Structure 1
Amino acid sequence: MRVGVLAGVVALAAAIVVVPVAVGEQAGEQAAPQAIYPGGATYPRVIHTADGRVMASVGSMDGDDSIGVILESTDDGATFQHVGTIRDPEGAQLRGMCCGTLFELPTSIGDMPAGTLLWATTAGYNLPAAERHTKQRLWESRDHGRTWTFKSDIATNPTRFNAWEPELSVSKDGHLVAHWADETDKPNHDQKIVQARSTDGVTWTDRQDTVKNTDFYVRPGMPGVRQLKDGTYFMVYEVCNLDEPLCSTYYRTSPDGWDYGDPFNLGTGIRTADGKYPRHTPTISVGPSGQIVFVAEMLVNADGSHAPGNGTTLLVNDDNGAGPWREIPAPVPVPNPNNEGCRNFSPALLAEADTVLQLASDNHEGFCKVYYARGPIPPVG
Structure 2
Amino acid sequence: MPGHLGQKVLNALTGGHSNHPPGQNLPGRGLINEDERPLSSPPNRGTYPRLARLSDGSILSSFTQFPENQRALCVARSTDNGRTFELLSEVTRAAGDVDNMFLLEAAPGVVLAAFRNHDIGPDGPSHFRITVCRSMDSGRTWKFASQAAEKKPPFGIWEPFMRLGRRGEVQLTYSQEFAHNNQCTMLIVSQDQGSTWTQPTCLHGNNDPLRDGMNGIAKTIDNGREALVMAFETTRYGPFNIEALISYDDGATWQKRHEVFRPKHGHNAGSPQIASFADGSLVVAFMTDEDSSQVEWVKHAAIKVVFAGPPHNGQIQWSAPSVVSPASSFWPGVMALDHHTALVTYDRGGPLAKTVTWQPR
TM tier relative to shorter chain: 0.7 to 0.9
Q: Secondary structure at the match of 1:234?
A: strand
How does 1:228-377 map onto structure 2 within 5 Å?
228=220, 231-240=226-235, 242=236, 244-261=237-254, 267-271=257-261, 279-298=269-288, 311=302, 313-320=304-311, 322-327=315-320, 329-330=322-323, 332-335=324-327, 343-362=329-348, 364=349, 369-377=350-358
Asked if the contact 1:313/1:327 (under 8 Å) is kept, the reply is no
How does 1:1-381 map onto structure 2 within 5 Å?
31-37=34-40, 38-88=43-93, 92-93=94-95, 95-105=96-106, 113-124=107-118, 126-129=120-123, 132-183=126-177, 185-186=178-179, 190-200=182-192, 201-212=194-205, 214-216=207-209, 218-228=210-220, 231-240=226-235, 242=236, 244-261=237-254, 267-271=257-261, 279-298=269-288, 311=302, 313-320=304-311, 322-327=315-320, 329-330=322-323, 332-335=324-327, 343-362=329-348, 364=349, 369-380=350-361
Per-residue displacement from partner, 1:295-320 (whole Å, max 9, x unpaired)? 1102759xxx9xxxx83642111123
Larger RCO (CA within 8 A; separation ≥ 6): 2
The amino acid that maps onto 1:288 is: A
Q: Quote the Cα distance in structure 1 between the aligned partners of 2:303 and 2:69.
A: 33
The amino acid that maps onto 1:101 is: F
Shift of 1:278: 8.0
Given the superposition, is the C-alpha separation of residues 51 and 289 from structure 1 closer, same or farther in structure 2, using an over 3 Å criterion?
farther
Per-residue displacement from partner, 1:196-250 (whole Å, max 9, x unpaired)? 112212222232111335354x21111112222553222111112x2x2511111
Q: Secondary structure at the match of 2:346?
A: strand
Q: How high is the sequence identity, in percent, across the aligned residues?
A: 21
Asked if the contact 1:283/1:296 (under 8 Å) is kept, the reply is yes
Q: Quote the Cα distance in structure 2 between the aligned partners of 1:41 and 1:198.
A: 29
Per-residue displacement from partner, 1:160-183 (whole Å, max 9, x unpaired)? 432100111222344322111112
Shift of 1:42: 0.9
Asked if the contact 2:234/2:243 (under 8 Å) is kept, the reply is yes
Query: TM-score normalized by structure 2?
Result: 0.76
Q: Quote the Cα distance in structure 1 between the aligned partners of 2:310 and 2:268.
A: 18
The amino acid that maps onto 1:251 is: A
Give the structure with the higher percent strand.
2
Q: Which runs of 5+ in 2 are unaligned?
A: 1-31, 296-300
Asked if the contact 1:239/1:247 (under 8 Å) is kept, the reply is yes
Given the superposition, is the C-alpha separation of residues 322 and 351 from structure 1 closer, same or farther in structure 2, using an over 3 Å criterion?
farther
Per-residue displacement from partner, 1:235-288 (whole Å, max 9, x unpaired)? 111112x2x2511111112223342247xx8x111159xxxx982000011122
Q: Quote the Cα distance in structure 1 between the aligned partners of 2:92 and 2:270.
A: 28
Q: Secondary structure at the match of 1:39?
A: coil
Q: Quote the Cα distance in structure 2 between the aligned partners of 1:34 and 1:311.
A: 17
Number of paired residues? 312
Q: Quote the Cα distance in structure 2 between the aligned partners of 1:259 and 1:161.
A: 25
Shift of 1:354: 2.6
Q: Quote the Cα distance in structure 1 between the aligned partners of 2:120 and 2:307.
A: 37
Q: Quote the Cα distance in structure 2 between the aligned partners of 1:32 and 1:131.
A: 40
Given the superposition, is the C-alpha separation of residues 246 and 351 from structure 1 closer, same or farther in structure 2, using an over 3 Å criterion?
farther
Asked if the contact 2:74/2:90 (under 8 Å) is kept, the reply is yes
Shift of 1:70: 0.8
Query: TM-score normalized by structure 1?
Result: 0.73
Asked if the contact 1:49/1:115 (under 8 Å) is kept, the reply is yes
Q: Quote the Cα distance in structure 2 between the aligned partners of 1:46 and 1:191.
A: 25
Q: Quote the Cα distance in structure 2 between the aligned partners of 1:182 and 1:328.
A: 29
Shift of 1:328: 6.8
Q: Quote the Cα distance in structure 2 between the aligned partners of 1:151 and 1:350.
A: 28
The amino acid that maps onto 1:192 is: C
Shift of 1:33: 1.8
Q: Secondary structure at the match of 1:345?
A: strand
The amino acid that maps onto 1:147 is: T
